[in-house]
Structure 1
């Protein structure tokens, strides 16, 4: 219900109206083709669609959510670079471990 209140409050048309339907579904259920108009929804499976009817806004819920709001402005490029670096280091460590095992096996065979 909290999410439905946020959707209604942040909608340009929905915040002015009463008795609106808020549609929920997994993003994978959304079917987007070239002939679909802006704002129109087409689904793969109707069974996965949930509809919640919002009668009017409840200010107590919106105020509570607004107080707990935390805005973050992450440096996505730096985070991606750090993650890529960690993945490269892990791969290198795995390769080094495989080389050590290979050398050890060869030494056992020869020695």
Structure 2
């Protein structure tokens, strides 16, 4: 079971989601999208919350409003973190999450700790949490199938881009050859290098002169 929420509408069409439990979190870790940003209360147990950005966006594109929605949802879904003030929430791109066989279910590390950001959440803001909960939808998605569909679409896009690149390169090659042929033709037609029929005639010996030379 995955729970889906809608961030504040004025910030854009952004979906926030989280798993039902640590076992569901394992699936989310495994089949995340490149545009997903992972959130968790630092040094405390909490839900794994994800923000799905638009394609091409990065963590730097998260607005303050959407960030506040995400960290409030994380805090509200932490048994310990929801009871205290001034908790830290860490977040990082999904592809920075590191999972090794020795880790417990739901536990993650990071490939690059420098890519992990921290934000201090002073207190729970019920207005934000209540608004998010009103948008809550429960679904049982086939995460593997969704991920495979994305992979297939990405492969198709890369192939199309490669075909377009090869076509542009071929057009550029043909244009260069055409320009080279034009320059070569113009070189042959330079007046200083050309000999007129009159010049040829004046520079040639007559038949009588040739006979005289032969004799």
Give TM class, smaller chain.
0.5 to 0.7
Which SS does the other structure have where 1:14 is aligned?
A: coil
Q: State the shift of 1:33 in Å.
A: 2.8
Q: When you count strand as a share of all residues, which structure comes out higher?
A: 2
The 1:54/1:33 distance shift into structure 2, 3 A limit, reads same
RMSD, matched Cα: 3.0
The 1:35/1:18 distance shift into structure 2, 3 A limit, reads same
Q: When you count helix as a share of all residues, which structure comes out higher?
A: 1
1:54 is matched with 121
The aligned runs of 1:57-76 (5 Å cut-off) are 57-73=124-140, 76=142
* Distance in 2, Cα, partners of 1:48 & 1:37: 22
Asked whether 1:6 is paired with 2:73, we answer yes
Q: State the shift of 1:34 in Å.
A: 4.3
1:92 is matched with none
Mark the runs of 5 or more structure 1 residues left unpaired by the alignment.
85-111
* Distance in 2, Cα, partners of 1:56 & 1:40: 25
2:88 is matched with 21
* Distance in 1, Cα, partners of 2:77 & 2:123: 13
- Select the structure of larger CA radius of gyration: 2
The TM-score with structure 1 as length reference comes to 0.56
* Distance in 2, Cα, partners of 1:41 & 1:21: 17
User: How many residues are treated as equivalent by the alignment?
Assistant: 79
* Distance in 1, Cα, partners of 2:82 & 2:122: 11
**Higher relative contact order (CA closer than 8 Å, sequence separation 6+):** 1
